[in-house]
Amino acid sequence: MKLVFVYADNNQEWNSSEWRCVIPAAAINSSPDHQASLLSIAEFTDGSAHAADLCESADVILVERNLFGPVLTAIMHWKARGKAVLANFDDAYDLLPENNISHKFWIEGEARVNRDDKVLHEVIDPPPITQFKWGLRMVHGAVVASHMLAEDWKAYTNTAHLPMYLDLDRYKGCVKPETEEIVIGWSGSLSHLHSFSKGVIHALENVCRARPQVRIMVGNDRRIFDRLKVPAHQKTMTAWVPHQEWPQVLASYDIGLAPMEGEFDARRSWVKVLEYMVVKTPWIASRCPAYQELESFGVLVENNPDSWEKALLDMVDRIEHFREKAAGPAYQFALDQGAERNVDTMIGIYTELISRAGLNIPEGSKSFSHA
């Protein structure tokens, strides 16, 4: 099978495209039976010869997230030429809380555009979330990062849960620094402020008072760091690092956090906890659908201060026990989620969606035909 992954992230926001496009494409290219290419969403819509050549030779075109504006025209263009087109996304854009930085764009249609070295504000009408729903009705199916997303959007198109898989090579050789501190860590994009709105901040403050050896490490989001009222020596702010350098930062945590809150978070992927597991880091997460199937490998808590504090204190006080647990079946499960180990699963899901849409791949052919 030949695939083209159309990625949506730009350099300033690079994250989801790494998981939904780059890692799967590299894994697929490790197989002698399949081939994958990457194409930016700007190239997909510009009609260039390069984009046309890649899409013309593909069996499947997977379009990440941005199903609005000229992307809809490009989808229809390639559908009219007999190509199978799938959507590929990892968040519930229709449920973005108001304090999420993407809410104004997706729900209200407010966009910032760089033009002639100036930042201009434009209004997208209809707003992207409305066009996104149109796009889902256009494509042949959608691969999404959680079971709840698959359920949410099945009325619009054929959907399938395709989880985030790991590039295992990135985590090899990561070493936990030897210190007398116990580092409780979290890092994430700027879309997680709401995730910290119930319980965990207050619990961390109490734990720092009760256990002086604890230090909190927060990555990327200074708003979360500033809300944490603990002595300066008990908290550290880390800057964004490239994906290749991130695993070593991750390995510096003794305990990994994964707070979640609300309907938007409930539909996130499992990848934050999965990364803790692949570096053998004990973790505590909010009890929510995103992490339910991983419960036996860590600790899930109700999202209130008392539950978070009790779980954190227990893990700090029995850290060696939890390290042993993290190095057992949890670690093995994470290894089984390596992308290269799951190429057949990915190809099988793409094929199933295409089949459900009434398309098939004739044996020996490079293009789809109607069944």
One-character DSSP codes across 297-364: GSEEE-SSHHHHHHHHHHHHHTHHHHHHHHTTHHHHHHHTTBGGGGHHHHHHHHHHHHHHTTEE--TT
Q: How far apart are CA 199 and CA 309, in angstroms?
A: 9
Domains in the chain: boundaries: 2-165+339-365, 168-335
Same fold: 2-165+339-365 with 168-335: yes
User: Is 3.40.50.1370 the CATH classification of the domain at 2-165+339-365?
Assistant: no
Residue 330 is which amino acid? A
What pLDDT is stored for residue 371 in this prediction? 44
What pLDDT is stored for residue 361 in this prediction? 64
- Long-range CB pairs of 78-81 (<8 Å, 24+ gap) are 79/138, 79/139, 79/140, 81/56
Q: How far apart are CA 135 and CA 70, in angstroms?
A: 11
The alpha helices in the chain, defined as continuous H runs, are 16-17, 23-29, 41-46, 49-57, 70-80, 103-106, 128-138, 147-152, 200-210, 222-227, 246-251, 262-266, 271-278, 305-317, 319-326, 329-335, 343-356
Q: Which CATH architecture has domain 168-335?
A: 3-Layer(aba) Sandwich (3.40)
- Assessment of whether the complete model's pTM goes beyond 0.85: yes
Q: Which residues of the chain have pLDDT under 50?
A: 362, 364-371
Q: Dihedral sign, CA of 244, 246, 250, 256?
A: negative
What pLDDT is stored for residue 365 in this prediction? 38
Q: For 225-269, write each residue's pLDDT tens digit.
A: 999 999 999 999 998 888 888 999 999 999 999 999 999 999 999
Q: For 281-333, write each residue's pLDDT tens digit.
A: 999 999 999 999 999 999 999 999 999 999 999 999 999 999 999 999 999 99
Length of the chain measured in residues: 371
